[in-house]
Chains A and B, each alone.
Chain A
Amino acid sequence: MDLSVKIGSVQLKNPVMTASGTFGSGKEYSEFVDLNELGAVVVKGIASKPWDGNPTPRVAETYGGMLNAVGLQNPGVDHFIKNDIPFLKKFDTKIVVNIAGRTVEDYCEVVEKLSDTEVDLLELNISCPNVKEGGIAFGTQAKMIERVTSEVKRHSKQPLIVKLSPNVTDIAEMALAAEAGGADALSLINTLLGMKIDIHKREFALANKMGGLSGPAIKPVAVRMVYQVAQAVKVPIIGMGGIMNGEDAIEFMMAGATGVAVGTANFANPFATMEVLDGIKGYMDRYGVKDVKELIGLAVGNIEFNCM
């Protein structure tokens, strides 16, 4: 059974990755799962300087999902290089660093500092709904996406993944802009902007009022967007949004994803990444699929697909 896939120039042993912000820098979940088994560990968004993030409450459960307004709290890139890279290098898995910034210069500073490290891939977060500057402000206008992508791309030695926001009217247009800017891959989706109100206490569930919705509740939106983007671009796509098991992952791959990332599911089940991987293998066994790459984009532009 061949499970390997390629993101940009980087070969992953299997398509299962972690979604940024839901897996820390790998340490916490390494007590539950063997990180060697993962295709890649995608770490929490890292900025040029330490960020404090938003006040609490930062998380709230919703039906089949959750809202978060963490606000990209992180200890900064220097701390990451010193403390987290040596830890992650102990494992045979690829390291993907998610990059946060308030300005284009911020992003470039992080990218430059990471250029001589053993980080395998970079993921540009231009889609965080929880910060005033940077984040989503860059990710909702095609022109801006292209500019930021090409600027960051010029500074980066590693292949660049651009993470798209679902909070737009035309996701394919944004994807094309990132591709035009030089993105080597795209990941989607980031969280959907949401809100929860406690009607009894008459207060917002999150201190930030609004937050990012994730988990199984958003899966159909994510699958649809992966499908639309897969039709528009040539670069590989990393699909995420509510993946809980192997079947969800296969659905994303058929919609056009090359890699899949497991996020909120980790909170509901710390073994989720391993169960997704086992589920993919189980599906391949059941249907006699020898190479996982055969599944990628089956639903895209394939007239036979509905007649199976």
Chain B
Amino acid sequence: MSLSKIKVATKIMKHSLIATDVYEMWIENKEMAKAAKVGQFVALYCKDGSRLLPRPISICEIDNEEGRLRLVYRVFGAGTKEISCFKEGETIEVLGPLGNGFLTKDKNVSVIVGGGIGVPPLLELCKQLKGEKHIFLGYRDTVFLADEFKAYGDVYIATEDGSVGHKGNVMTLLKEKGLDIDQVYACGPKGMLKALQSYVLEEQIPAQLSVEEKMACGIGACVGCICETNDRTMKNKRVCKEGPVFSAEEVVL
């Protein structure tokens, strides 16, 4: 019998601060990198045994040649604080890749919308998507990763405090541009996804939204991380298993 999922000690190849409280971490595991798909996530385990549950973090970039994954995360609470202290060369226990990612549809005009710590998984997406890409990135104040997106399409930035780019949120920026859109991909805070959802549903633009929920097992066993959908046979779907990416028509935010 084949046991297909892995939880392994991966080596931290690179670990550095890239913005206030935001770190990038490159971890090495050939199998995991090979299996990883855009929009999926991994779960990181703390070493401190008082913190039992793994921390879900999206895959920001996949380097298949080197067998590495790039993760970009924000120090949020005690677990990510502990993880941020892990040194290069040390190992970290990782479970994954987990969940269902984005279905890349090579349409003419794709719009990619990211908010805050929802921005990282969109980098690999932009790398893999073909066609014309318009990338809208929204931040509260500090901007990170934005420059790296410029290689893949037109980048529009919005910050809440107006320190960089447009002052306000990505939705107003997106509406202002008045693009003729074939497909939307998004990841970010619930409020942003909600606003985007009502917009794409009204405009009848197909969209895939990556949602977040508090998790325990990360693999579909505990039904802790559900989100409501309008699927009649399975109303409550698991974000870690059926998600985190759902179509805008399906998910109830």
Contacts and interface: CB of A to CB of B under 8 A. Distances in A.
Contacts of B220: 24, 27-28
A10 interface: no
Interface centre among A21, A33, A65, A270 (most CB of B within 10 A): A270
A33 B53 CA distance: 19
A125 to B, nearest CB: 15
A163 B95 CA distance: 32
Interface residues of A, number: 39
Nearest to B234: A75
B236 A61 contact: no
A61 B219 contact: no
B51 interface: yes
Interface residues of B, number: 33
A284 interface: no
A66 B216 contact: yes
Nearest to B78: A61
B45 interface: yes
Interface in B206-245: 213-227, 234-236, 241
A53 B226 contact: yes
Contacts of A283: none
A117 B218 CA distance: 31
B216 A59 contact: yes
Contacts of A66: 52-53, 216
A23 interface: yes
Listed residue (A24, A36, A57, A215) with the most chain B CB atoms within 10 angstroms of its CB: A24
B217 A28 contact: yes
Interface in B44-76: 45, 49-54
B5 A58 contact: no
Contacts of B3: 30-34
A32 B223 CA distance: 18
Interface string A65-85: 110101001010000000000
B52 A56 contact: no
B229 to A, nearest CB: 12
A242 to B, nearest CB: 10
A195 B73 CA distance: 28
Interface in B3-22: 3-5, 7
A271 interface: yes
B216 A267 contact: yes
Given A31-B219, A53-B226, 20 more contacts: A21-B222, A22-B217, A24-B221, A28-B219, A28-B221, A28-B241, A30-B3, A32-B7, A44-B223, A57-B213, A57-B214, A61-B51, A64-B49, A65-B52, A66-B216, A70-B224, A75-B234, A267-B53, A268-B45, A268-B54
